[in-house]
Copies of this chain bind each other. A is one copy, B any other.
Amino acid sequence: MPGRLKQVLLGDPLHNKESAHQRLSNPVALAVFSSDALSSVAYATEEILLVLVLAGTAALELALPIAAGIGLLLLVVATSYRQTIKAYPSGGGAYIVAKENLGTYPGLVAGASLLVDYTLTVAVSISAGTSAITSAFPTLMPYRVEIAVALTVLLALANLRGVRESGALFAGPTYLFIIMLGALVITGLVKVALGMTIEVPAHGYESAAGTLTLFLLLRAFASGCTAMTGVEAIANGVQAFRQPEARNARTTLSWMAGILLFLFVGTTALAQFSGVQPSHTETVISQLARGVFGSGVLYFLLQVATAAILVIAANTSYADFPRLASFMASDGFLPKQLRERGRRLVHSNGILLLTAVAILLLIVFRGDTHRLIPLYAIGVFTSFTLSQSGMVVHWLRSRDEGWRSSIAVNGLGALTTAVVLVVIAIAKFSQGAWIVLLVVPVLVAYFAWVKRHYTKVELRLRIAKGDPDVLDPATHEDLHNHVVILVGAFDRRLVRAIQYARTLRADSMEAIYVDITGTQGEKMRRKWAEYRIEIPLTVIDSPYREIIDPILRHIRRIPRPDRDHAITVIIPEFVPEDRVDFLLHDQTAFWIKQALFVEPGVIAVDVPYHLSSDLARNTE
């Protein structure tokens, strides 16, 4: 990217020293890390109702008990994670906790689950946010994929600029959503308590359309569990908090859990007491808001806030995915490029990777939220279970103060989330959960493959202890260097190449010319004689007009004791004054270099001749 454009899009580069300042205050951290969890309130209640209504409107009575159960689960998980933060103040994501306490493979499973889930968070939230926009402006409907992709790119840019700026950018909508939805729940419930009717449309469902089976109840529960996605975000991101990180993170986690519990259970209660029914044309939240607020300014504000928080919920993943990917890259399970921090001290490559995969998901699923949601909760509950199980082992080993009660808390967490995981996997299997159950093992295998590769390379490249003489000049003083000049044309490029070759300490030197015409070789020999060049010229006939293969064959036949003895191949090139000009010259030199790169002991040396160089001026 040209420097100027980069400057405008990303801002000035940040100095390493500015790293410590890139921390978030608690209120900003709450906005950054909980938009994912909180935004799911916008659809979790509706997902429960959509399943229950299959058994008729009478079954909708079961929504509140299910929501209460999920609320209880939320309390268990949040309490468990408070323990995790205490034990892992440097950031205790499921990956780290599972790896340290349960072993490498459970850690990799947790890592894969989280990476999948973060990616889905982006796709689901952006899709749902786009739906909110296209519901408001139906003429935009045909462009929903384009809008979703554009929003993803905007998010990526905001995050490439750095986490502080994006935190400030996103705090507003999160708080607006909390206030507006809170106001809806309180006003609505007060109205219900005062015996006032909340007017909601009827959608013509029957009172008892089907049988209420246990499986249906479990599916409703599994669907409602999407409300829990994102709860782990704070525990993974402790290092983004101000000091003391652990205490700030624990406090923020408690706040988030409390707000989420209130909004989710409150919304579901209001839905049940008002008798609202799910619809395919209007969201449950929208119906409730119209019933409670009327279709005025308050309704409009809530809809805007809902759309905004859905879009920026994706931001939680932009905070967490690159961080987790960099942890895993540091451990050698992902390509090293994911470890580096870019111009603005963020893990730019992780951001770009997340963006690419999310855009792919948006395009493949045509930005359809309801097709993405069944894939969604599997990953997060896998990581919950592994993380809490890991904490149980942690307390068993450490026996820190209060380890018995900690085991009880995390053990309960592990047990409940494990049960829920099995329930979700079974209840949603055929609707898409199978994809995740397939992708996670593939990712784990990939991590293992990457690790094996890096380990092998490191072992081969490492200088063994007790080998201090490996760099002693005496050990290589008898190495030879054979210099070969590739001749393409008799011109100033060649002059420069010969000039350079003469500065080398060559044991032997020759020039080779590949003649593909059957006539040019003789001309080259005459030129060679005319200019009295002392370097011997070899002309290689190539009647099949190949260039690279004859060169390789010739080089391989050069005698040398072993492949430590270098063959330096000098390739005369010239540097056009303008980048466009490159296309006018053939790329043979490039392909020759590619071929020579993999030849043991052969070193390809480009000797560029600059059209605008001093040399050209000097010798003109």
A interface residue numbers (CB < 8 A to B): 13-17, 335-337, 340-343, 450, 453-454, 456-457, 460-464, 467-468, 470-473, 476-477, 479-481, 489-493, 495, 498-500, 502-505, 516-518, 530-534, 543-546, 562-564, 566, 574-576, 581, 583-586, 593, 597-598, 600-601, 603-616, 618-620
Do residues A463 and B544 form an inter-chain contact, with CB atoms below 8 A? no
A531 CA to B463 CA, complexed, in Å: 11
Interfacial chain B residues near A544, Cβ < 8 Å: 13-16, 343
A114 CA to B563 CA, complexed, in Å: 54
Task: Name which residue of chain B comes closest to A482, CB basis.
Answer: B503
Do residues A500 and B336 form an inter-chain contact, with CB atoms below 8 A? no
- 5 A-B pairs in the complex with CB atoms less than 8 angstroms apart: A13-B546, A461-B493, A470-B619, A476-B499, A600-B612
Partner of A598, one of B335, B531, B575, B600: B575
Interfacial chain B residues near A490, Cβ < 8 Å: 463
Task: Name which residue of chain B comes closest to A464, CB basis.
Answer: B620
Do residues A454 and B584 form an inter-chain contact, with CB atoms below 8 A? yes
A566 CA to B467 CA, complexed, in Å: 34
Contact of A600 with B610 at beta-carbon distance under 8 Å, contacts A470-B619, A616-B460 already known: yes
Do residues A492 and B462 form an inter-chain contact, with CB atoms below 8 A? yes
Of the listed residues A17, A467, A544, the one surrounded by the most CB atoms of chain B closer than 10 A to its CB is A544
Interfacial chain B residues near A14, Cβ < 8 Å: 544
Contact of A480 with B503 at beta-carbon distance under 8 Å, contacts A15-B544, A336-B584, A584-B336 already known: yes
Task: Name which residue of chain B comes closest to A572, CB basis.
Answer: B461
Interchain residue pairs A-B with the least CB separation, the first 9 = A505-B505, A481-B503, A461-B491, A563-B614, A16-B543, A13-B544, A600-B613, A476-B499, A471-B531
Give the Cβ gap from A4 to chain B, nearest Cβ, in Å.
15
Do residues A606 and B603 form an inter-chain contact, with CB atoms below 8 A? yes
Known: A463-B492, A604-B606. 16 other contacts (CB 8 A): A17-B543, A336-B585, A454-B584, A460-B492, A462-B492, A473-B502, A479-B499, A479-B502, A563-B613, A563-B614, A575-B597, A597-B608, A600-B610, A601-B613, A603-B607, A605-B605
Do residues A461 and B562 form an inter-chain contact, with CB atoms below 8 A? no
